[in-house]
Structure 1
Amino acid sequence: MSYNNIFSKEEKGITTITINRPNKLNALNRETIKELHEAFDEANHDKKTKVIILIGSGEKAFVAGADISEFANFSVKEGANLASKGQELLFDFIENLSTPVIAAVNGFALGGGLELAMACHFRVASDNAKMGLPEVSLGVIPGYGGTQRLPQLIGKGRAMELIMTAGMIDAHTALNYGLVNHVTTQDELLPLCEKIASKIMRNSPVAIKSAIKAINANFKDGVDGYQVEIKQFGKCFGTLDFKEGTTAFLEKRQANFPGK
């Protein structure tokens, strides 16, 4: 599938999705959000794809925010609809994807850009990364899940301060806060993500899918995460991956998971 604002390429089990609006610092507009949804959906249904890496083109930005020109004159109803549709189409969609998603955060990840990175299953940053949710400086709040995911990742107090000051933190502070898992050089960012992806690909994709469901359940209102874990744990026993994994362990060999 061809896109105007992104690239998507699968190689050796890894699909790399690149946001490509360098003149706009890869800012999210409605077309880009729609294209990202389509690319993630396509990769998730591609049997060759075991891990997805999301990155921004160029050296300056992962995603520098949302394209403000698109919504500066919106009404209350239009604003609420923008957030609702965006969360459903992309941010919640990525979070609940059964294929692992790694955000490779290069440069600025601000506003919707940080929200996009936080929707991914985990994040790796280059040492020039800057992250923040500056929406209150525009008279609005984060609308793509930022007020929910940031406290989950770094704690309520730090999230309150970061959102209310509209400030930015650097990559090493983000690492200290637990917002990113690793910090590396810009040249090594994609190779490190690919190295982590290769480790993920050694394991059962069916079990990983169940693990994502169980982990996410802990953060959903009215859902008992322990019960979801029990259910997903039990389901694993009925899979060919479980049979292969336990057989390989007992036979002292590397497992070759069929993904079923």
Structure 2
Amino acid sequence: MRIKLPRMARQCVFCGGSGLTREHVIPRWLSNVLPEQARFRGQDQATVLLQPERAVDGPHHREMVETFNSATVKAVCGSCNNGFMNDIEAEARPLLSSMVRGSLALSLAGGAAPAVATWAVKTSLMAQLTGSEPTVFPQVYREFHATRKPTSDCMVWAAAVDDENWGLRTECRGMLYVLDDQSANPNDPPNILSVTIGLGALLLHTIIDPVLANSTWNLLTYAFRGALVPLWPDPRPTTWPPRVLHPAEAWAISESMPTLLS
């Protein structure tokens, strides 16, 4: 399955270079790690308009039931694809493989948590490009390319999950948060992105929020204390896995941002 991008994505979203190549949203090597029954899950794309004291579903909604780990986007150049993005994959792969399989007694101390968080942000930035009207944060892409780590606008958590619906699933929510002194226009591009990725026994939750400056970090961390492990910007050394999420909790996490901001 190939995703057609809007005109604006004719240069590399990270470095602005030419010679675009196709990048798998979910890397192909994960097919050898994920349980067989989890290879045919889908994704949900939605845009949410957030106004003071209320949250309204936006007009853009898309659900794909194709094999999601075959999705590609043509939005990055060969230099980025085969360079720093490949390095991110290589560093995170051993950790992700163990977490996806539900391995016990895995340490997330030292550089382990940032490695997984960096992979989660990279994958989230790719996943949001699969929408018919993708959320675009040019400054986040550029800074991510420059530093090779999540930006100051990024928050990442991980959780253990045991739910077939999350075996391979991505929930992308682009949100338009309207400040008190601004008028709401549902045609404006979203300015907050929330992406939840389920991979076997692992759930990753990423929020990119240039508007509210990580004000939801503590709210979400403490709302699911003991289950949602902070990976960025303030990683908490822990032994994996934590308490396994109840299926309803996984969905609540994926839908948490509109709820917290409404």
TM-score (structure 2 length as normaliser)? 0.25
- TM-score, structure 1 normalization: 0.26
Greater relative contact order (Cα 8 A, min sep 6): structure 1 or 2?
Answer: 2
Which structure has the highest helix share of the two? 1
Bigger strand fraction: 2
